[in-house]
Structure 1
Amino acid sequence: MRALLLLLLSLMPSVLWAQAPTPLHVEAALDRQVVAPLLARFQQLHPDIDLRYHDNSTLNVDKQARDADPAPDVVISSAMPWQMARVNEGLAQRLDSAAARNWPDWAKWRNEVFGFTFEPIVTVYRLDLARHMMPPTTHADLHTLLKTHQDLLRGRVTTYSPTGSGVGYTLFQQDARYSPRFWDLVAAMGAAQVSLENTTRNMLKGLTDGTYWVGYNLLGSYAMHWARSHPDIIVQIPQDYALVMMRMAFIHRDAPHPAAARAFMDFLLSEAGQKTLAGSTPLFSVLPDVVGPYTAQRLRDQVGERLYPIPINASLLAFVDPMRRDAFMKRWNREIRILNP
């Protein structure tokens, strides 16, 4: 009996080790509060994986992807050009799975990086604004308000800082591509002493406490989530055209736990993952057959041909070209003419 007990005790460390969950480090520019239902569903389906989810800014996520040692297992960001640049540099590993092969071609690149959300870019305003002027429903409306109510709106308008936010810079570049009046709008925001913020959350906080009355180019997913508990905040998808950005995810080339990383990526692309996005988060699903209040198809039905998703292809690399960035920022600083960073 004693010999049997000693044998069992000697085996216990190896048994415990075999049962220990596999760590998985996900570095993400995606608010944990918004994505929580998706993470919970993954953990429910994969109790053998210890998910360690780190929410960070787009610029810090990009730095972690480039420099962290050990590297994160999975990298997620809304700064689409930066994600494409890291993949182009060879920092991603290919995902060979049925989910990856069947993913829509317009939402992936070389089966190495995948767009798994479909998030509209929105204008947000306080309900108070309607007491003074007709709220904007288009980019042209916002420009008109800034010109005709400049004194009333001075210091009460906010948008992204193109230097402090990778996604903000990307959105402005896309605006300049689609709208011939974009620079007029930038000049009008500058004349109204626009406040530049690094995150949608900071803009929403300012809108809630009354510091700001209007916010331009906010992430619709965050704004819709926020508006659920702040009825004084109104979210407007622009009716002339609406940009759509996708969170792009890839498995890091040097992922310490590649099997767990593949399981997580497959989940993001799976029907179970996309159903969770569509039914429990305002991140909007990509798959066409998924049903729920937040789907790409439902958004297309609402906005129609005026919906402009930012494409996942090599054209994104142009946005991180230093010469192009310098030229854009010179024009931005010339048009906006304010002291904000």
Structure 2
Amino acid sequence: MIAVRRGIGRRLAGWLALGLALGMAMAPGGAARAQTTPLVVEAALDREVVAPLLAAFRAAHPEIELDFRDRSTLEVDARVAAGEPAPDVVISSAMPWQMARVNAGYARRLDSPAARRWPAWAKWRDEVFGFTFEPIVMAYRLDLSRHMVPPQTHADLHRLLTTEPARLAGRVTTYSPLESGVGYTLFQQDARYTPRFWDLVAGMGRVDARLEASTRAMLEGLSEGRYWLGYNLLGSYAMVWAQDHPEVIVQVPQDYSLVMMRMAFIHRDAPHPQAAEAFVDFLLGR
């Protein structure tokens, strides 16, 4: 079940749901496959969420053998520098890490009509491109309302953490900034947006909030009943999950919502640069 409250959250969620979760128009396939070119994509992007996009790319480019590797943000970042061999394309929502790798010279410039048309605010030097934009959300179990009024704002969440520490003890979850690049990024952005974030951190500590390395782990804990409330989940994953798990409610905060941009670049040492360019062009052309 999904409860999207703010206008911007609805637009962002709708864009992402249409683009990734509901699938994209399938391009007609070509001739029978004779010889294929490998393409390795290292991505911090749930395979289930991106499956329609991958299927559309395979249909449009039967000459390319796509090897999509779904990993954590930490694993993806490590493979950028490790090489041996380098991946062709790198995708991650850990924006500071992606920018750091690009500025360190790990990206290959993409010179194509789609890249030139891409908005200037969503790319850097035609080397890295933001291609999804989604709200960061809260999520809670449907039966939370039996115990307390579910939060709709950050202030509501802080109030619950302050007034219900006994009932929420061990039942709140959020990202670990040590285990997740996304978690680290969100921690930074929250702290920059409002000084009251530290009050929220103190409240999380008061209820012994459980730290997870991924949105999926938080959602699984909510569905299993181990957690009642989750903070700072990726909106796309949460909304797709809630479609099949009605016990989970997704709430875009009414006061403000951080927006995460998922970023892609072609590795400078991509073994298959033409296939990599075709893949990133496909992302930008959808």
Higher helix share: 1
**Paired AA for residue 150 in structure 2:** P
TM-score (norm 1): 0.74
Q: Which residue of 2 aligns with 1:63?
A: 78
Equivalence for 2:37: 22
Q: 1:234 aligns with which of 233, 249, 260?
A: 249
- 1:138-181 per-residue CA deviation (whole Å, 9 max, x = no partner) reads 11100001111111101100000110001001001000011121
Could you tell me which amino acid in structure 1 is paired with residue 274 of structure 2? A
Task: Report matched runs for 1:296-335 at 5 Å.
Answer: none
1:44, distance to aligned residue in structure 2 (A): 0.7
Relative contact order, higher structure (CA 8 A, sep 6+): 2
Partner residue, 2:187:
172
One-letter identity of the residue aligned with 2:96:
P
Once the two structures are superposed, the pairs formed by residues 153-168 of structure 1 within 5 Å of their partners are 153-168=168-183
Q: Which of 115, 119, 122 is residue 130 of structure 2 equivalent to?
A: 115
Aligned equivalent of 2:25: none
1:68 Cα deviation from its structure 2 partner = 2.3
Give the structure with the larger strand fraction. Answer: 2
Quick one: distance in 1 between partners of 2:140 and 2:119? 34
* Partner residue, 1:4: none
Q: CA deviation at 1:132?
A: 1.2
The corresponding residue for 1:15 is none
Paired position in structure 2 for 1:90: 105
**Residue of structure 1 equivalent to 2:279:** 264
Alpha-carbon distance in 2 for matches of 1:51, 1:117: 20
**1:249 matches 2:264:** yes
Larger radius of gyration: 1
Equivalent position of 1:203 in the other structure: 218
Q: Which residue of 2 aligns with 1:124?
A: 139
- Is 2:103 aligned against 1:77? no
CA–CA separation in structure 2 for the residues paired with 1:128 and 1:150: 18
Secondary structure of the 1:250 match is strand
Unaligned runs of 5+ in 2: 1-32
String of CA shifts for 1:57-83, please: whole Å, max 9, x gaps.
000000001102110000000111000
C-alpha distance in 1, partners of 2:168/2:276?
47
CA shift digits 1:253-281 (9 cap, x unpaired): 000000000000000000xx2xxxxxxxx
Answer yes or no: is 1:39 the counterpart of 2:57. Answer: no
Identity %: 72
How far, CA to CA, are the matches of 2:171 and 2:98 in structure 1?
33
TM-score by length of 2: 0.88
What secondary structure does 2:208 align onto? Answer: coil
Question: How far apart, CA to CA, are the structure 2 residues paired with 1:167 and 1:173?
Answer: 10
CA RMSD of aligned residues (A): 0.8
- Number of positions where the alignment pairs a residue of Structure 1 with one of Structure 2: 254
**Counterparts of 1:93 and 1:166, CA distance in 2:** 22
> After TM superposition, where is structure 1 displaced by more than 3 Å over at least 4 residues in a row?
none
